[in-house]
A = this chain, B = another copy of it.
Amino acid sequence: MDKTKKERLAAAGWRAGDAGEFLDLSTEEAAFVELKLALADYLREVRSRNGWTQAQVARRLGSSQSRVAKMEAADASVSIDLLVKALLGLGASRTEVGNVIAKPA
């Protein structure tokens, strides 16, 4: 199973329980994917909490609706850098970002 497929699957429906349950993710790979999912989920939460559309968020960040959708889906083409920059750009603090990453879902 290639890396793309793994991230795709993980991003798709494996937020219940540990990602990498019967996927062949090493523990570090699983931790990485989970960390990314946590940020993606939080991004969506911040957006909906403020009643924004993906297009509005995209405008704020100087990006596009499709990329915001991919961010929220933790798509394989989205980096942690992008997610962190997006959260900071929407007003989240460094501490807030850290807590999202640290907290076990």
Partner of A32, one of B32, B34, B79, B84: B84
Number of copies: 2
Is A5 in contact with chain B by the CB < 8 A criterion?
A: no
Would A32 and B88 count as touching, CB distance under 8 A?
yes
A96: shortest Cβ distance to chain B, in Å?
Answer: 8
Sorting the interface of chain A by its residue count into under 10, 10 to 19, 20 to 34 or 35 or more gives 20 to 34
State A47–B79 Cα separation when bound (angstroms).
Answer: 25
User: Interface digits, A63-105 against B, CB 8 Å rule (1 contact, 0 not)?
Assistant: 0000000000000000111001100110001111111111110
State A103–B32 Cα separation when bound (angstroms).
Answer: 20
Q: What are the residues of chain B within 8 A of A80 when measuring CB–CB?
A: 79-81, 84
